[in-house]
């Protein structure tokens, strides 16, 4: 005999209503558990990072000992002991990594489900209650996956360290519990400036039709607009695509200035930070998608 179907969430008994306090408690419970999982993952990353740094520092020392031990037999037991210890760590880390991989897969599935929930819930209020100002606006947060292959591949073609810094944005924003937005903003600004410094070197910009000498004490100054315009028309082969991207420069520069303001000391508006980071992330995705790599990879050298 089949079990009766569980009651659907929207199947209420006659006269039954949903208590807003119970809704708050349900969401608070999930956020608390997510925070606990995030904290555990952060602790694990710090422990693993410390272990990695110890091994990186100790490796050259033991390699030198091994070289000296070839002529000094009394050093050989010390080196052998070190090797034995490192092999033991290797086995423990392999076991821990298996458990961590299982945890990561689970959290990835949960994250994907929450992203779907966010995208399907975002427009509910505006559809059901259009123009109702009492409904709080819904601003989905930016989502950084641990490995954004397409974006990182093109950033790495420009400069491997650039791809590394971009990866750190997501690690800071989604993985840090101590002021994550401010850390992500600092990294995003760094990626932005590094990105265009490589695509549009000073001398190349000044020798292009997109630059003009300035009045005042610094006539050789290059504006971000000039640098971005040069980069677009130099590295994006599709002129129509380049025109569209250049037309959006003002909006991006306004967002960049917002990043500068948000990075200053004092209280940080989470909503403004979320919006600015999300906009800049989309901007970088759009740019890397438009770049002519690998067909035009010589231009990045």
In whole angstroms, what is the distance from residue 69 CA to residue 173 CA? Answer: 47
Over residues 110-131, the mean pLDDT reads 61
The helices-and-strands tally (H runs, E runs) of the chain is: 11, 0
Q: Over the range 12-44, which residues count as b (16 or more CB within 10 Å of their CB) and which as e?
A: eeeeeeeeeeeeeeeeeeeeeeeeeebeebeee
Angle value at C-alpha 154, between 149 and 155, nearest 5 degrees: 100
pLDDT band of 2, cuts 50, 70, 90: very low
Which pLDDT score is estimated for 187? Answer: 92
Mean pLDDT of the chain: 81
Q: Confidence class of residue 274 from pLDDT cuts 50, 70 and 90?
A: confident
Q: Delimit the domains of the chain by residue range.
A: 24-118, 149-213+220-300
Position 209 pLDDT exceeds 80: yes
Check whether 205 has a pLDDT greater than 90. yes
Whether the predicted pLDDT of 255 surpasses 90 = no
pTM exceeding the 0.95 threshold for the entire prediction: no
Architecture of the domain defined by 149-213+220-300: Up-down Bundle (1.20)
Distance of CA 12 to the CA centre of its chain: 41
Confidence of residue 295 (pLDDT cuts 50, 70, 90): very low
Q: What is residue 297's DSSP assignment?
A: G
Whether 299 shows a pLDDT value over 70: the answer reads no
152 burial class (0-12, 13-18, 19+ CB within 10 angstroms)? middle
Q: What is the 3-state secondary structure (H, E, C) of 238-285?
A: CHHHHHHHHHCHHHHHHHHHHHHHHHCCCCCCHHHHHHHHHHHHHHHH
The answer on pLDDT for 4 being more than 90 is no
pLDDT of residue 265: 61
Radius of gyration of the chain (CA): 26
pLDDT in tens, 237-251: 888 888 998 998 998
Residue 263: per-residue pLDDT: 64
pLDDT at 232 over 90: yes
Residue 134 has pLDDT above 50, yes or no: yes
Which of 166, 146, 139 has its CA nearest to residue 155?
166
Query: Between residues 196 and 143, which one has the greater pLDDT?
Result: 196
pLDDT of residue 296: 45
What is the C-alpha to C-alpha distance for residues 87 and 82, in angstroms, rounded to an integer?
9
Yes or no: say if 226 and 210 are a contact pair by the CB < 8 Å rule.
yes
Answer yes or no: is pLDDT of 154 > 50: yes
């Amino acid at each position: 005999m089949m079990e009766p179907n569980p009651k659907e969430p929207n199947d209420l008994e006659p006269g039954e209503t949903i208590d807003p306090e119970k809704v708050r408690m349900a969401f608070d419970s999930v956020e608390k558990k997510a925070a606990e999982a995030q904290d555990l993952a952060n602790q694990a990353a710090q422990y693993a990072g410390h272990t990695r740094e110890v091994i990186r520092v100790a490796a050259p020392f033991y390699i030198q000992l091994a070289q000296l031990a070839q002529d000094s037999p009394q050093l050989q037991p010390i080196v052998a002991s070190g090797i034995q210890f490192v092999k033991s760590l290797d086995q423990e880390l392999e076991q821990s990594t298996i458990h961590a991989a299982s945890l990561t897969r689970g959290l990835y599935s949960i994250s994907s489900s929450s992203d779907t929930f966010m995208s399907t819930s975002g427009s509910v209020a505006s559809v059901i209650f259009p123009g109702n100002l009492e409904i709080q606006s819904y601003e989905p947060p930016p989502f950084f996956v641990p490995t954004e292959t397409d974006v990182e591949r093109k950033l790495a073609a420009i400069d491997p360290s650039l791809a590394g810094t971009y990866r750190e944005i997501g690690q800071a924003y989604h993985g840090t519990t101590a002021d994550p937005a401010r850390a992500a903003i600092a990294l995003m600004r760094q990626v932005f400036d590094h990105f265009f410094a490589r695509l549009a070197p000073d001398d190349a910009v000044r020798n292009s039709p997109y630059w003009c000498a300035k009045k005042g004490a610094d006539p050789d100054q290059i504006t971000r607009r000039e640098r971005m315009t040069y980069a677009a028309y130099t590295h994006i082969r599709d002129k129509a695509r380049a025109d569209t991207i250049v037309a959006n420069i003002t909006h991006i520069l306004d967002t960049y200035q917002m990043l500068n303001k948000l990075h200053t000391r004092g209280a940080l508006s989470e909503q403004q930070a979320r919006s600015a980071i999300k906009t800049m992330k989309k901007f970088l995705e759009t740019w890397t998608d438009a770049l002519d790599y690998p067909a035009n990879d010589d231009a990045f050298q």
